[in-house]
Amino acid sequence: MTIKLDGKRVAAEVKANLAERVSTLKEHGIVPGLGTLLVGEDPGSMKYVAGKHADCAEVGIRSIRRDLPADASFDDIAAAVRDLNEDPACTGYIVQLPLPRGVDENAIIGLIDPSKDADGMHPYNLGELVLHVQGDITTPLPCTPRGVIELLDAYDIDLNGKEVCVLGRGITIGRTIGLLLTRKAVNATVTLCHTGTRDIADHMRRADVIIAAMGSAGFVKPENVKDGAVLMDVGVSRVFDEQAGRFRIKGDVDKACYDKVSAYSPNPGGVGPMTRAMLLANVVEMAERKM
């Protein structure tokens, strides 16, 4: 029987647990605060930031919002980053990407105080993840890779010794999830595929788990998937639905694959809600470490 990995349900359980922990922190005089820095008015980014602040209200985390116009300069954005670094009410924050064309995103991310890096994407925190193959990690973890693993854990899907094929080499998940999957606590073997990979279909057919993060709608077809595999659909594409007359979100996995696999994450409704929940988890853990 195929299992649908319901990210909405698991994220709700995570947030309920975080709400209890936030209540305990408040009893000790600590109020976690999540900050966001949004530059411009990209509809997708605005919607995502609004969702993060709605999540904060649900869990009891203070919201701190900084918005800049689309024509903000590098210096303007850097000044806002320094302001959040110095704000004692801000436990952790994110700089919403993409930034306007011409602004060096890596340079801006590098200005974030690593101890306030709610996304877990600062070079220092990624370096700590590289160094810690085993044992506890006390720095923030990348939210989307962490969300993938937490969702699998919620359904008792063991990755120990499994062959995992990751599709896509983006920094959000493709280049980072292998760092978590190959830690001894998870113990998977990872193959990272990208546009330069020869015969991607062969890699997919041999995999016990496919994590698709390419942003190519329906790329993973039934003939690419072995029976009983697990599919984690992380890619997002906006595809025009001619019947409905509007754009819809579609993932990288063709739904026809679902009949062949043992488990799959829907898209939307799978990894996306988990990513948002892990952002809150990072902020709460930052506050707990201070306590």
- Nearest CA to 261 out of 218, 230, 222, 220 is that of 230
Who contacts 268 (Cβ-Cβ below 8 Å, separation ≥6)? Answer: 249, 251
Catalytic: which of 55, 117, 119, 252? 119
What DSSP string describes 199-245? -HHHHHHH-SEEEE-S--TT-B-GGGS-TT-EEEE---EEEEETTTT
Q: At what angle do helices 271-290 and 43-59 cross, to 10 degrees?
A: 50
CA dihedral 133, 139, 145, 148 (to 10 degrees): 90
Q: Is 26 a catalytic residue?
A: no
What ranges in the chain are assigned the alpha helix state H?
A: 7-27, 43-59, 74-86, 105-111, 123-131, 143-154, 177-181, 200-206, 271-290
215 is in an annotated binding site: no
170 is in an annotated binding site: yes
Catalytic: which of 15, 52, 116, 162? 52
Who contacts 113 (Cβ-Cβ below 8 Å, separation ≥6)? Answer: 85
Catalytic: which of 15, 55, 96, 162? 96
How do beta strands 246-250 and 237-241 pair? Answer: antiparallel
Q: In what order do the strands lie in the sheet with 33-39?
A: 62-68, 33-39, 92-95
Say how many CA atoms lie within 13 Å of 193 toward its Cβ.
Answer: 23
Q: Is 119 a catalytic residue?
A: yes
Q: Is 52 a catalytic residue?
A: yes
DSSP 3-state of 263: strand
φ and ψ at residue 99, rounded to 5 degrees = -90, 165
Question: Which residues does the annotation mark as catalytic?
Answer: 52, 96, 119
Binding residues for NADP(+): 168-170, 236
Binding residues: 168-170, 236
